[in-house]
Each structure stands twice: as C-alpha cells, then as structure tokens.
Amino acid sequence: MRKNKISHNVILRLPRYLRYLEELRSKDVVRISSGELGRLMGITASQIRQDLSCFGEFGQQGYGYNVEMLLGEVAKILGIRRERRAIIIGAGNLGRAIIGKFPFEQYAFRLTAAYDVSHEIVGTEMAGLTIRHADTLAADLQDSPPDIAVLTMSGESARTISTLLADAGVRGIWNFTNQDLPNMGPDVIVENLHFSDSLLTLSYYMTHPKDNELEKP
Amino acid sequence: MRKNKISHNVILRLPRYLRYLEELRSKDVVRISSGELGRLMGITASQIRQDLSCFGEFGQQGYGYNVEMLLGEVAKILGIRRERRAIIIGAGNLGRAIIGKFPFEQYAFRLTAAYDVSHEIVGTEMAGLTIRHADTLAADLQDSPPDIAVLTMSGESARTISTLLADAGVRGIWNFTNQDLPNMGPDVIVENLHFSDSLLTLSYYMTHPKDNELEKP
DNA sequence: TAGATTGTTAATCGATTAACAATC
DNA sequence: TAGATTGTTAATCGATTAACAATC
C-alpha cells in the first residue's frame, strides 16, 4: 500500500538499493529475498519490506523479489526514465572531472552544455562539448531550459546564477559549491554536495571513536 | 549533561551549526539565542538546545550563546584542533580540484602527499606537492602513516588500496570513488561521498514534487 | 527587578523492528 | 503439500518538540 508521505530516510536508502540490485544483476542473481538483501546491506529485512511497501508490491510470497524487476521498479521510483537534459556551469578541475567521468547516461541524463568564464577554457572541447562563455547562459536558457544544472564553479556567483536558472525554468540544481543557495520555492529542487560537511563528519567520528560502536547480533 | 551515545542525526547537523556560526561571526554578531539561530537555520530552538546539550553547557540563561565561544566549542567537538595529516590518492581532475581548491587548513588538515599512476601526472607539481607514483605508497606509509587518505582515483583499485591504508594505520578514509569499501573494522572510519546517490536523490524529488512539500507555521 | 533564555524533563511524533496471517 | 517469504499491522524504540523551573 502506498504511503502518502515518504520519509527522507526512505528516499536516501533508495539509491543504495539500486546499487546493490545492480551488483546482484551483474552477478546474474535472479531472485533475492528481503532477508538475504538485508544481510548484504547490513539492514533488517523488515526495513526493506517496509521501505518498498511505500511504493507498491514488488515481491511474491515464498519467492522473494526478482532482481531485474525490482531494479526496474526502484529505477522508476527514482525517476530514471526518459532522458532529461543537464548543463554544467564551471569547467575547472571539478567540472572537468564530472564532464569526463560522471556517467550521466546511466541515470537518464544527457549533458548538453558546459559553461565557464575563463578565456583559457571557453572554446575548448571536452567529451564532445564545446565550453561556452557563461555570459551566453541567460540567452541559451531562453529557448528550452535544461531539467537540471550542475554548479561546479567557484562559490561567489552561485546565488546569482541559481536565481537566473530558477527564473528560466530549471527545476533541479545539483550544487557542488560551498555556498548555500537562496530558497527558490517548492518547484526548484536543490541537492547540495558539501565536501566540507562530509570531511567534518569523518573528523567527528575519528575524534570520538566510541560513538561509532555498533554490533550485530 | 552529556549523553552517552550521540545520534547520527545530531552529528550530521554539527557541520551546519559550524557554517552558520562562521557566517554570524563574519558579520560580527556577538551573541545569538537558540530561537534566532533556529529561525536562521530553519529548525526549532528546542532541537538546537537539545543537540548542544549532548556535549555540554555552552549558553547562559537570559543571554543566549556567545557566537565566538560556541563556534570554538563546535569546532572542538568536530575534532578541528591540532593539525592532522592527509594524503590524496588520484590526481586526475577530481584529485586536482581537491588539491587546488579544498581548504584543508580550515579544518586543521595538512595535505602532505599526492599519488597517481599516470606517468604524465607523476612528477608534476601542484599546490606545492610533487605527485608521487602510487607504487611508492606502501613504502611511504611505513614511516608514519597520515591520519586520513582521500580516495579520488578511479574505483577499481579502491578496495585494495583501502586495505593497504588500513593495515598501515590510516584511521580515516574519505572516499570519492563509486565503490563501497570493505569493512576495515571499528578503528578505520570511512566517509563516502557518492555523487550518484546525491544525483538520484535530486532525481527523486524532481519526480515526486509532492513529497517535497513543507510548510512553516 | 523584570524579561529573556537556558538546560532538562516530559509529551509527542515518527521510524524501525518484530510478529504473523496470507499465499506463492 | 510444506516451506518460504511476502505485505502489513502492532510493538518498540528513538528523535523531535513542547513545557517549564532555574537563573542570568
């Protein structure tokens, strides 16, 4: 039975389910029970069944889940379906790493434009894209804005640019800058990837080893 | 009063407290109440007081918290104190972005070595570091291992290298690869930064706009 | 002093785990 | 059929919010 409101914790686990199911499929595993999957992932079978039940009934009593089918369902839940367009703003080292290495296609995204302001970078080609000058961004957005924008430039311009993007109809922002973005209303989803928050979490757990204790029965 | 066990949720909020306090300090704000800070951060005053009370008593009735002092306390809780050493493995675009731009010093880390396997990269200098060949890693670790290692190479070698690191006494791994690392026991803390999990979370919320509804009273 | 705001205890809310009837 | 495992309901556990005495 579908729940009305899906909790954030459930949503954060979905990509993990996807990863484990992909791994199982790559190993040609056909079926998996919540018990086995739970052991693999280090979570309870109950939690898996509870999580999945938010979205539908994907298993079969006495059998478990078909890996291929469940993978497809989780992908669908996560929105990996028909192609969406992405642009990236900032083609410095981080931007280049993402342009060159990140498997957008795997998640049904297509990177269609990249921007920078450095005249050494603008005009160069990278993974089939010619880097454009950020000054042309506003005009480029006029026609048909992309679904998401990836912010990999330095932080100062993050707030201005994200407002520009939101106004142009971009509905998702994947924010790698160290800046928090202004609230752009409920129609624009922002996902932050704050490197420093992550390092500080590591730092905390290294400083307080006790808190990391956990045992499995 | 200090709690015995600090919940993960509390720990994840600490870096955010740090960021907001830094911003307040940069604006020369001297004191802040839990109420004000809560309004700023979009969380309840209760939660802030509850969170902080896990670690000690940092406020004063009728006054609130001294920004400078609380900032110092949060930094201390997060382990930002005397210098710790970090090495980075992988000096491709992502590695270079981190070597060049990430403010390790701000978090009391000092980047002391960088490794790669490409002969085009090995030997080059970057932010004062000469990139070393990864083959020398094992030997380099003998003397005194760094506190943490940052994994920014491609994923295939992640498992092997992290075992090597753990055996050498590295106590923290900041993992940017798309691989999950093997369990290296309670003494080695792993912090994953899975780009794709983050993009999928964005994708989910863009696909299910309803779940993102939230209102403030 | 009066007003403000803390730290903490109690109440509420939500998430995880356990249990089990349904059924493949 | 018998065994296994689901989806779901109930029980437990934990986290957030509210309330308030203490006190600056």
Q: Which protein residue has its CA closest to C1' of C16?
A: A47
pLDDT of the residue at B215: 32
pLDDT of residue A81: 86
- How long, in residues, is chain B? 217
Confirm whether any atom of chain C, the nucleic acid strand, is less than 7 Å from CB of A44.
yes
- pLDDT tens digits for B25-84? 999 999 999 999 999 999 999 999 999 999 999 999 999 999 999 999 999 999 998 899
* Residue A217 binned pLDDT confidence (cut-offs 50, 70, 90): very low
Question: Would you give the distance in Å from CA B86 to the centre of its chain?
Answer: 12
Q: Name the nucleotide nearest A60; use CA and C1'.
A: D6
The answer to whether B115 and B137 are in contact (CB under 8 A) is: yes
Report the C-alpha gap between A192 and A198 in whole angstroms.
11
CA distance A38 to A42: 6
Inter-chain touch B6–A77, beta carbons under 8 Å: no
B126 vs A: CB within 8 A: no
Neighbours of B182 (CB within 10 A): 14
Q: Report the alpha-carbon distance of residue A26 to residue A43 in Å, rounded.
A: 21
Q: Check whether residue B50 has its CB closer than 7 Å to nucleic acid strand C.
A: yes
Chain A residue numbers touching B98 (CB-CB < 8 A): 195
Considering the domain delimited by B8-77, tell me its CATH architecture: Orthogonal Bundle (1.10)
Q: Are A137 and A156 in contact (CB under 8 A)?
A: no
Query: CB distance from B29 to chain A under 8 Å?
Result: no
Position A143 scores a pLDDT of 86
Is the pTM here over 0.95, yes or no? no
Would A8-77 and A84-197 be classified into the same CATH topology? no
What sign has the CA pseudo-torsion A25, A27, A29, A32? negative
For residues A133 and B36, give the distance between their C-alpha atoms in angstroms, rounded to a whole number.
Answer: 41
pLDDT of B5: 85
Q: How would residue A214 be classed by pLDDT, with cut points 50, 70 and 90? A: very low
**Which overall architecture, per CATH, does domain B84-197 show?**
3-Layer(aba) Sandwich (3.40)
| One-letter amino acid for residue B28 of the chain | D
Q: Which of residues 55-114 of B touch strand C (CB under 7 A)?
A: 57-65
Q: What is the mean pLDDT of residues A139-145?
A: 93
> A45-53 and A34-41 are packed helices; what angle lies between their axes, rounded to 10 degrees?
110
C-alpha span between A121 and A130 (Å, rounded) = 9
Write down the domain spans for chain A: 8-77, 84-197
Mutation target among A204, A213, A215 for the B interface, most CBs of B within 10 A = A204
Tokens 């190993």 belong to residue: A27
- C-alpha B29: how far from chain center: 26
Contact B201 A103 (CB under 8 A): no
Beta bridge partners of B65: B32, B59
Chain B residues whose CB is inside 8 A of the A124 CB are none
The pair of structure tokens assigned to A61 is 């009593």
Give the DSSP per-residue string, chain A.
---SS--HHHHHHHHHHHHHHHHHHHTT--EE-HHHHHHHHTS-HHHHHHHHHTT---EETTTEEEHHHHHHHHHHHTT--S-EEEEEE--SHHHHHHHHH--GGGGTEEEEEEEE--TTTTT-EETTEEPEEGGGHHHHHHH---SEEEE-S-GGGHHHHHHHHHHHT--EEEE-SSSPPPP--TTSEEEE--HHHHHHHHHHHHH-GGGG-----
A16 touches chain B (CB under 8 A): yes
Query: Smallest CA–CA separation between B62 and chain A, in Å?
Result: 30
| B154: nearest CA partner in chain A | A101
Measured from the CB, is B7 under 7 Å from any atom of strand C? no
What residue in A sits closest to B150 (Cα-Cα)?
A199
Q: How many beta carbons lie within 10 A of that of residue A53, not counting itself?
A: 14
Q: Point out the nucleotide closest to A63 (alpha carbon to C1′).
A: D5
**CB of A13 within 8 Å of any CB in chain B?**
no
C-alpha angle B202-A152-B214 in degrees, rounded to nearest 5 = 30
What is the structure's pLDDT at B216? 28
Q: What is the side-by-side order of every strand in the sheet holding A132-133?
A: A132-133, A109-116, A84-89, A148-151, A172-175, A189-192
Question: How much of chain A, in percent, has pLDDT values that exceed 90?
Answer: 88
Q: Would you place residue A212 in the very low, low, confident or very high pLDDT band (cuts 50, 70, 90)? A: very low
- Tell me the pLDDT tens digit for each residue of A173-208: 999 999 889 989 889 999 999 999 999 999 999 999
Asked if the C-beta of A83 comes within 8 angstroms of chain B's C-beta atoms, the answer is: no
CA nearest to A12, candidates B157, B181, B124, B12: B12
- Name the nearest CA neighbour of B45 among B62, B33, B57: B33
State pLDDT tens for residues A2-60: 446 899 999 999 999 999 999 999 999 999 999 999 999 999 999 999 999 999 999 99
pLDDT value for A216: 28
Q: Which two tokens stand for residue A49?
A: 């069944």
- pLDDT < 50 positions in chain B: 1-3, 211-217
Q: Is the CB of A47 under 7 A from strand C?
A: yes
Provide the b/e sequence for B139-160 (b: ≥16 CB within 10 Å).
ebbeeebbbbbbbbbeeebbee
User: Which of A26, A124, A203, A204 best tests the B interface by mutation, with the highest count of B CBs <10 A?
Assistant: A203
Ramachandran bin of A59, using left for φ above 0, alpha for ψ from -120 to 50, beta for the remaining angles: beta
Average pLDDT, chain A: 93
Please identify among residues 178-197 of chain B the ones whose CB lies closer than 8 Å to any CB of chain A.
180, 186-187, 189, 191, 193-197
How close B52 gets to chain A, by Cα (Å)? 15
Per-residue pLDDT, B81: 86
Residue A78 predicted with pLDDT over 80 = yes
Chain B residues in contact with A207 (beta carbon < 8 A): 77-79
Q: Which residues of B touch A171 (CB under 8 A)?
A: 206
Specify the 3-state DSSP secondary structure of B113.
strand
Q: Which residues of A touch B80 (CB under 8 A)?
A: 200, 203
pLDDT digits (tens, 9 = 90+) for A80-113: 988 999 999 999 999 999 999 999 999 999 999 9
